Amino acid sequence: MMNKRTFLKSTAAGAVLFLSGIAPAAADIGDVRHPLWYEAPTERTLELAKIDDLSQTVVSLGPRGEDGVLYSEIEITEEQKEKIRAGNFTAAISLGWLGDDWASQQLLGLKETFADLGIEVVAETNANWEDARQISDLDAISVLKPDLVVSIPLNTATTASAYKRLADAGSKIVFIDQAADGMQPGENYVSVISSDNLALGMYLADLLNDAVGGEGDVAAMYYANDFHVTNLRYIGFIARLMAKYPDLDLIAAAGHDNPNKGQEVAQALLARYPTLKGVYGSWSIPAMGAATAARINGKRPADFKIVNENFDQIVAADMAANGYIAGISTQQPYTQGATEAKAGALALIGESLPSYISVPPVRVSRDNLAEAYEKIYRIPLPAVMSKDLQSN
């Protein structure tokens, strides 16, 4: 049971473990303390957490509390495609970052779908995780007067005015993952298209449970900043533990504000809690930092398991080699990008869209690594990974 009282503190290992802004957990989720943004799973979430296969269920609600629609319901007929192509529309893409596989696949899905629909992409911007830079990017985009803007707000509060200026000037806006504050669907934005992040977190709990044999001490590494999508993944992870895995003891939770600090945080966890059998390591970069920490600590992959969100090459390669990465719960970024482009294109010809469109996650272990890789990247598993998968 989750019955051990723990509270992480700064240690001699020098890890940055976030204590400021941590609030006591509710009585029914054990004694681990969670970040200030944490909200205990609702009864609805806990009920849905009992469902094994979530591929046909939208678990997460939209940013305005609305029910979601599966991405597969967003289709463009040949007649609609002809109308879109005849419109000679333009689009701009404003991303919060580039350089990882998620962003690359998102961009590819957007651009290939826009090309198929005859929509010209007149701007692509990368804010490099700086909301001030994103505001500048959006203001520069406004000069081009694009018919459509697809963007992920890095900070829903500080960027809101820039998005509102674009909407007021006549650009249709499709949001990736979260909507800017003060904006309403159908009024000044079309829709939010997101991975189902509660479901993604639930699959992480499944994978960790399977990896450690269904019992023992585990920990979680969360993104400390208040970021809607990563918040939901953590909450989904907790909900699934509560609903399905009473024999997993979540004995510690630690935050990081930078993915490159994953090794530091994991080193402190391992030093303080030597009985840990596994950890939810946030996404791929902090998870690989946790793998380095485990290796330094003397933990073997057979004795310490890591699960993470996002299916990057680095974690896929580690999994293929039978390393520390035992499970990945992944978004479908290409599919999400294509859906964003379709939704925006339909809005340009006057079609109404659901305000929240969800793309289900994919649960990945060594057993389905090759199949999942081809589903996400649309190419076969690389030869090196395939060889490792067969020989380890």
User: Is the pLDDT reported for residue 9 higher than 50?
Assistant: no
- Which two tokens mark 365? 């272990």
Q: pLDDT for 242-267, tens place per residue?
A: 999 999 999 999 999 888 999 999 99
Q: What is the CATH number of domain 46-53+197-331+363-390?
A: 3.40.50.2300
**φ, ψ at 114 (rounded to 5°):** -60, -40
| Mean predicted confidence (pLDDT) in 15-35 | 47
- Which two tokens mark 326? 């035992």
Helix axes 383-391, 369-377, angle to 10 degrees: 160
| Mean predicted confidence (pLDDT) in 203-218 | 97
Q: To the nearest whole number, what is the mean pLDDT of the chain?
A: 91
pLDDT in the model for residue 392: 80
From residue 239, alpha-carbon distances to 29, 244, 246, 354, 380 in Å are 9, 9, 11, 27, 34
User: Is the pLDDT reported for residue 18 higher than 50?
Assistant: no
pLDDT in the model for residue 25: 34
pLDDT in the model for residue 202: 98
Predicted confidence band at 158 (pLDDT cuts at 50, 70, 90)? very high
- Tell me which residue has tokens 């909900």: 239
| Mean predicted confidence (pLDDT) in 199-225 | 96
pLDDT in the model for residue 77: 97
DSSP string, 280-341: EEEEHHHHHHHHHHHHHTT--TTT-EEEEES--HHHHHHHHTT-SEEEEEE--HHHHHHHHH
- Tell me which residue has tokens 């998870």: 287
Per-residue HEC secondary structure of 96-116 comes to CCCCCHHHHHHHHHHHHHHHH
User: For residue 115, what are the contacts with CB-CB under 8 A and spacing of at least 6?
Assistant: none
Tell me the pTM: 0.87
Predicted confidence band at 20 (pLDDT cuts at 50, 70, 90)? very low
The reply to whether 69-195+333-359 shares the fold of 46-53+197-331+363-390 is yes
Which CATH architecture best describes the domain 69-195+333-359?
Answer: 3-Layer(aba) Sandwich (3.40)
First to last CA, the chain: 33
Name the residue among 309, 256, 301 with its Cα closest to residue 284: 309
Q: pLDDT for 26-83, tens place per residue?
A: 323 446 789 889 999 999 999 999 999 999 999 999 988 999 999 999 999 999 999 9
Identify the three-state secondary structure at position 47: helix
Report CA 326 to chain centroid distance, whole Å.
Answer: 18
| Mean predicted confidence (pLDDT) in 306-322 | 96
Domain boundaries, the chain: 46-53+197-331+363-390, 69-195+333-359
